[in-house]
Structure 1
Amino acid sequence: MPWEIAQITTKIHLHDLPEALLQQIFSFIEPTRARNSASLVCRRWRDLERRTRSSLSLRGNPFTIPYPPSPFPSFPSLSSLDLSNLSPWGCPLSNTPLLVGPTLPDKFPGVNSLKLYSRDPTALISLTHHWPKLKRVKLVRWHNRPSGAGITIGSDLHPLFENCGEIEEIDLNEFYCWTEDVTEAIRSYPLVAKGLTGLDLMLANATDGFRASELVSISEVCPNLQRLVAPCVFNPRYMDFVNDETLRKLATNCPHLTTLHLVDPTPINLNNNPGAVNNLPEDNPSAITPACLETLFSSLPLTDFSLDLSHPILEVGPALEALGQRRAGPLVKNLKLGYFQGVCIGKWLHLDGVAVCGGLESLCLKNCADLSDASLSAIARGCTRLSRFDLIGCDLVTELGIQQLAIGLRQTLKDLSVSRCPLISAPALVKVLKPVRRWLERLHLDCIWTGSKAENGGAEHDLLDDNNLNGLCEPQSKRRRYEYEEDLEGFGATGTVNGGCSQWPESWECLRELSLWLPAGEFLFPLRDIGFEDCPILSSITIKVEGNCRAKPDPRTFGLSILSHFRELSKMKLDLGEAIGYAFTAPFGQMDLSLWERFYLHGIGDLFLQELDYWPPQDREVNQRSLSLPATGLIQMCFRLRKLFIHGTAHEHFMRFFLQMPNLRDVQLREDYYPAPENDMSTEMRDESCGRFELALNSRLVLD
Structure 2
Amino acid sequence: MVGTSINDLPDVLLSNILAMVSDTRTRNSLSLVCRKFLSLERATRFSLSLRGNAQDLYGIPTCFRSVTHLDLSLVSPWGHVFLCSLPDPHLLAHRLRGLFPLVTSLTVYVRSSTTLQILARQWPGLRHVKLVRWHQRPQSAPGEDLAPIFEHCRSLSTLDLSEFYYWIEDIPPVLLANPLTAKSISKLNLMTTSCTDGFKSTDILTITEACPNLSQLLMACTFDPRYFGFVGDEPLSAIATNCPRLSLLHLADTSTMASVRGDPSADGFTPEDARISTAALIELFSGLPLLEDLLLDVAKNVRDSGPALEVLNTRCRKLRSLKLGQFHGICMAVGSRLDGIALCQGLESLSIKNCADLTDMGLIEIGRGCVRLSKFEVEGCKKITMKGLRTMVSLLKRTLVDVKISCCDNLHTIASLRALEPIQDRIRRVHVDCVWEGSGEDCELGNFNLVEVDELTSCSTDSLFEGENNGGYSRKRKRSKHSIDPDCSFSMESNGSELWKRWDRLEYLSLWIGVGDFLSPLQSAGLDDCPVLQEIQIKVEGDCRGRHKPMDTFGLNILGQYPQLTKMKLDCSDTIGYALTCPSGQMDLTLWERFFLNGIGSLGLTELDYWPPQDRSFNQRSLSHPAAGLLAECLTLRKLFIHGTAYEHFMNFLLNIPYLRDVQLRLDYYPAPENDMSTEMRAGSCSRFEAALNSRLIPD
TM-score of the two chains, using structure 1 as the length reference: 0.90
The letter of the residue matching 1:545 is: V
Q: CA deviation at 1:299?
A: 1.2
Alignment pair present for 1:560 and 2:560: no
**Distance in structure 1 (CA, Å) of the matches to 2:56 and 2:181:** 37
Alignment pair present for 1:339 and 2:326: yes
Match of 1:49 in 2: 41
1:532 to 527, 531, 544: 527
User: Structure 1 pair 132/476, CA: closer, same or farther in 2 (3 Å)?
Assistant: farther
Match of 1:518 in 2: 513
Match of 1:603 in 2: 599
Match of 1:4 in 2: none
User: Structure 1 pair 510/480, CA: closer, same or farther in 2 (3 Å)?
Assistant: farther
Higher mean Cα deviation, 608-617 or 686-695? 686-695
User: Structure 1 pair 617/68, CA: closer, same or farther in 2 (3 Å)?
Assistant: closer
Whether the 8 Å CA contact 1:153–1:180 is kept in 2: the answer is yes
Task: Report 1:87-102 matches (<5 A).
Answer: 87=76, 88-96=78-86, 97=89, 100-102=92-94
Alignment pair present for 1:478 and 2:447: no
1:405 to 380, 387, 392: 392
Match of 2:355 in 1: 368
**Distance in structure 2 (CA, Å) of the matches to 1:530 and 1:483:** 37
- Provide Cα deviations, 1:181-201, integer angstroms capped at 9, x if missing partner: 122222210011111111011
**Distance in structure 1 (CA, Å) of the matches to 2:420 and 2:486:** 20
Match of 1:286 in 2: 274
1:296 to 284, 297, 317: 284
Whether the 8 Å CA contact 1:248–1:296 is kept in 2: the answer is yes
**Distance in structure 2 (CA, Å) of the matches to 1:532 and 1:566:** 10
Whether the 8 Å CA contact 2:81–2:110 is kept in 1: the answer is no
Secondary structure of the 2:204 match is: helix
Task: Report 1:10-49 matches (<5 A).
Answer: 11-49=3-41
User: Structure 1 pair 480/179, CA: closer, same or farther in 2 (3 Å)?
Assistant: farther
Alignment pair present for 1:139 and 2:131: yes
Q: CA deviation at 1:684?
A: 2.6
Match of 1:508 in 2: 503
- Provide Cα deviations, 1:215-274, integer angstroms capped at 9, x if missing partner: 110111111111100001111111111110111112111111121110001157985743
Whether the 8 Å CA contact 1:142–1:672 is kept in 2: the answer is yes
The letter of the residue matching 2:601 is: G
- Provide Cα deviations, 1:32-67, integer angstroms capped at 9, x if missing partner: 111112223443322111111121111111212535
1:615 to 608, 611, 615: 611
**Distance in structure 2 (CA, Å) of the matches to 1:103 and 1:607:** 42
Secondary structure of the 2:330 match is: coil
User: Structure 1 pair 536/482, CA: closer, same or farther in 2 (3 Å)?
Assistant: farther
Whether the 8 Å CA contact 1:137–1:169 is kept in 2: the answer is yes
The letter of the residue matching 1:289 is: S
The letter of the residue matching 2:119 is: L
1:380 to 353, 363, 367: 367
Whether the 8 Å CA contact 1:627–1:649 is kept in 2: the answer is yes
Match of 2:214 in 1: 225
The letter of the residue matching 1:356 is: L
Higher mean Cα deviation, 173-182 or 620-629? 620-629
Q: CA deviation at 1:607?
A: 0.4
Task: Report 1:435-474 matches (<5 A).
Answer: 435-446=422-433, 448-452=435-439, 460-463=442-445, 468-469=449-450
User: Structure 1 pair 84/237, CA: closer, same or farther in 2 (3 Å)?
Assistant: same
User: Structure 1 pair 75/269, CA: closer, same or farther in 2 (3 Å)?
Assistant: closer
- Provide Cα deviations, 1:558-595, integer angstroms capped at 9, x if missing partner: 11000001111111111111112221464565321111
User: Structure 1 pair 501/360, CA: closer, same or farther in 2 (3 Å)?
Assistant: farther
Q: CA deviation at 1:476?
A: 5.8
Higher mean Cα deviation, 330-339 or 681-690? 681-690
TM-score of the two chains, using structure 2 as the length reference: 0.91
Secondary structure of the 1:402 match is: helix
Alignment pair present for 1:155 and 2:144: yes
2:58 to 43, 66, 73: 66
Alignment pair present for 1:488 and 2:478: yes
**Distance in structure 2 (CA, Å) of the matches to 1:548 and 1:558:** 16
User: Structure 1 pair 44/476, CA: closer, same or farther in 2 (3 Å)?
Assistant: same
Q: CA deviation at 1:307?
A: 0.8
**Distance in structure 2 (CA, Å) of the matches to 1:277 and 1:315:** 16
Whether the 8 Å CA contact 1:422–1:447 is kept in 2: the answer is no
User: Structure 1 pair 111/623, CA: closer, same or farther in 2 (3 Å)?
Assistant: closer
The letter of the residue matching 2:105 is: S
Higher mean Cα deviation, 428-437 or 595-604? 428-437
Match of 2:459 in 1: none
Secondary structure of the 1:348 match is: coil
**Distance in structure 1 (CA, Å) of the matches to 2:677 and 2:529:** 51
Secondary structure of the 1:460 match is: helix
**Distance in structure 1 (CA, Å) of the matches to 2:181 and 2:309:** 36
Whether the 8 Å CA contact 1:64–1:695 is kept in 2: the answer is no
User: Structure 1 pair 490/628, CA: closer, same or farther in 2 (3 Å)?
Assistant: closer
Higher mean Cα deviation, 686-695 or 580-589? 580-589
Secondary structure of the 1:292 match is: helix
Whether the 8 Å CA contact 2:81–2:112 is kept in 1: the answer is no
**Distance in structure 2 (CA, Å) of the matches to 1:561 and 1:490:** 34
Whether the 8 Å CA contact 1:278–1:395 is kept in 2: the answer is yes
- Provide Cα deviations, 1:11-45, integer angstroms capped at 9, x if missing partner: 33333333333333322322111111222344332
Q: CA deviation at 1:348?
A: 2.8
User: Structure 1 pair 65/435, CA: closer, same or farther in 2 (3 Å)?
Assistant: farther
Match of 1:395 in 2: 382
Secondary structure of the 2:509 match is: strand
2:568 to 572, 575, 579: 572
Higher mean Cα deviation, 528-537 or 417-426? 528-537
Secondary structure of the 2:122 match is: coil
User: Structure 1 pair 583/73, CA: closer, same or farther in 2 (3 Å)?
Assistant: closer
Whether the 8 Å CA contact 1:270–1:276 is kept in 2: the answer is no
**Distance in structure 1 (CA, Å) of the matches to 2:622 and 2:471:** 56
Q: CA deviation at 1:409?
A: 0.8
Alignment pair present for 1:659 and 2:649: no
Whether the 8 Å CA contact 2:414–2:443 is kept in 1: the answer is no
- Provide Cα deviations, 1:607-657, integer angstroms capped at 9, x if missing partner: 011111111112223445211100000000001111111122211111111
Higher mean Cα deviation, 345-354 or 261-270? 261-270
**Distance in structure 2 (CA, Å) of the matches to 1:285 and 1:175:** 31
**Distance in structure 2 (CA, Å) of the matches to 1:54 and 1:658:** 32
The letter of the residue matching 1:125 is: Q
The letter of the residue matching 2:169 is: E
Secondary structure of the 2:213 match is: coil
**Distance in structure 2 (CA, Å) of the matches to 1:98 and 1:179:** 31
Q: CA deviation at 1:483?
A: 7.9
Secondary structure of the 2:411 match is: coil
Secondary structure of the 2:393 match is: helix
Count of paired positions: 679
Match of 2:634 in 1: 638
Secondary structure of the 1:516 match is: strand
Whether the 8 Å CA contact 1:314–1:342 is kept in 2: the answer is yes
- Provide Cα deviations, 1:328-375, integer angstroms capped at 9, x if missing partner: x53321111111110111123221110011111111111111111111
Whether the 8 Å CA contact 1:317–1:354 is kept in 2: the answer is yes
Whether the 8 Å CA contact 2:136–2:672 is kept in 1: the answer is no
Residue identity (%): 46
- Provide Cα deviations, 1:534-563, integer angstroms capped at 9, x if missing partner: 211111111111112223333211110000
1:432 to 419, 424, 431: 419
The letter of the residue matching 1:174 is: E
**Distance in structure 1 (CA, Å) of the matches to 2:5 and 2:329:** 67
